[in-house]
C-alpha cells in the first residue's frame, strides 16, 4: 500500500477513535490522581472531579464512583437552558432583555432588575431562567434535552423547577461530555449560538489560558443531599480541558455556608493547577 495512503488511514483511525471516546467518556480509563485526592482531603470535602484531557484523550480526577452518580444540576443547567432558549428563538440574542422584574421576593438583591441572558447568568438569576424555561415550554425542552443527551433527560411535573427539584439529574462525567462538545462547537446548534453562550461564562484568563465555568447549588427542602457544583473548561494551546466537580455541602449557618460554597471553585482550580493546566 502507498505510504501516503497508510498514513491517511492511520490518522483517520486516530481521529475517529478520539471522537468516539468523547461521545462516551465512560469507555475511557479513569485515572485517580493522588495529588487531586490530597486537595479534597485538605479541604475535608466529600466529592468528585473529572477532567478530560482531549489532547491525550484520557480522564483524570478523583472518586470515579461518584463521578458517575447523577445529581440535580441546579444552576449549572443555565448553560444548557441558554442554548435551548436561543436555539428555539425564545430569545433573539444574549443581549435581549427577556425578563421583567415584577417586584417579587428574591434570594439575591442582584436579581431585582430586568435581565438579558448575559445579565442573568452572571448573577445566576433563577427567576430569569424560570421565565426562559416557561417560554420554551415542556415539549421543546424535552426535545432539546434529548438532542444534547443531557443527564437523565427528565423534566417531571414543573417546567420551571425541574433542574432544581431533583427531577433532572446529571453526573460529573455527563457534564464533561456536554461541556467538551460545547467548547468545541460540536452540539447540534448553530456555531454562533454555542460561541455566544461560551462567551457568557468566561470567568478568567491569562496570557496562555482561558477559564470558562458555572457554579451550581442544589438544596433539598429537608436539607439532605445538598450538592455544590463547578463545571466548565480550560482552553489552552488550542486544546480543551473540560471538567466537572461536585461536592457535599455542609449546610449550617449562613457564614459557614458561604465558606463551603467557595470551595467549589477553590478545589477545582487547585486540581487544575496540580495537573499544570493553569498556573
- Region 76-96: mean pLDDT is 98
For residue 182, what are the domain limits? Answer: 29-274
Q: Taken in order 60, 65, 70, 71, is the CA torsion positive or negative?
A: negative
Total count of residues recorded for the chain: 279
Under the banding of pLDDT at 50, 70 and 90, the label for residue 16 is: very low
Residues 95-145: tens digit of each pLDDT: 999 999 888 887 888 898 999 999 999 999 999 999 999 999 999 999 999
pLDDT at 164 over 80: yes
Place of cell 431533583: 166
Place of cell 489532547: 55
> Which of these is catalytic: 12, 20, 26, 75?
75
Q: Is residue 222 part of a domain?
A: yes
Question: For residue 225, what pLDDT is reported?
Answer: 62
Number of domains making up the chain: 1
What is the reported pTM? 0.89
Q: Is residue 212 part of a domain?
A: yes
Residues 187-220: tens digit of each pLDDT: 999 999 999 999 999 999 999 999 999 999 998 7
Mean model confidence pLDDT for the chain = 89
Q: Give me the CATH number covering residue 73.
A: 3.40.710.10
CA-based nearest residue to 98, from 114, 79, 76, 80: 114
Q: Is residue 22 part of a domain?
A: no
Would residue 75 show up in a list of annotated catalytic residues for this protein?
yes
Q: Is residue 159 part of a domain?
A: yes
Amino acid at each position: 500500500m502507498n505510504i501516503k495512503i497508510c498514513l491517511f488511514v492511520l490518522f483517520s483511525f486516530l481521529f475517529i477513535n478520539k471522537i468516539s471516546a468523547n461521545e462516551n467518556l465512560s469507555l475511557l480509563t479513569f485515572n485517580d490522581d493522588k495529588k487531586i485526592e490530597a486537595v479534597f482531603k485538605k479541604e475535608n470535602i466529600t466529592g468528585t472531579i473529572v477532567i478530560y484531557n482531549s489532547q491525550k484523550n484520557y480522564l483524570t480526577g478523583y472518586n470515579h464512583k461518584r463521578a458517575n452518580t447523577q445529581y440535580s444540576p441546579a444552576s449549572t443547567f443555565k448553560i444548557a437552558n441558554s442554548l435551548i432558549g436561543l436555539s428555539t428563538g425564545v430569545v433573539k440574542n444574549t443581549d435581549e432583555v427577556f425578563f421583567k422584574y415584577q417586584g417579587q421576593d428574591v434570594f439575591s438583591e442582584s436579581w431585582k432588575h430586568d435581565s438579558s441572558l448575559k445579565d442573568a447568568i452572571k448573577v445566576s438569576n433563577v427567576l430569569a431562567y424560570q421565565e426562559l424555561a416557561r417560554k420554551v415550554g415542556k415539549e421543546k425542552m424535552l426535545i432539546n434535552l434529548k438532542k444534547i443527551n443531557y443527564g437523565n433527560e427528565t423534566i417531571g411535573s414543573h417546567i420551571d423547577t425541574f433542574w432544581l427539584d431533583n427531577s433532572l439529574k446529571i453526573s460529573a462525567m455527563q457534564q464533561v461530555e456536554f461541556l467538551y462538545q460545547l467548547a468545541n462547537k460540536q452540539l447540534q446548534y448553530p456555531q454562533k449560538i454555542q460561541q455566544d453562550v461560551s462567551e457568557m461564562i468566561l470567568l478568567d484568563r491569562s496570557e496562555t489560558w482561558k477559564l470558562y465555568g458555572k457554579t451550581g447549588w442544589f438544596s433539598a427542602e429537608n436539607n439532605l443531599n445538598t450538592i455544590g457544583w463547578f463545571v466548565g473548561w480550560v482552553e489552552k494551546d488550542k486544546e480543551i480541558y473540560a471538567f466537572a466537580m461536585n461536592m457535599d455541602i455542609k449546610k449550617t449557618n449562613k457564614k459557614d455556608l458561604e465558606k463551603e460554597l467557595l470551595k467549589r471553585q477553590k478545589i477545582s482550580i487547585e486540581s487544575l493547577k496540580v495537573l499544570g493546566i493553569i498556573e
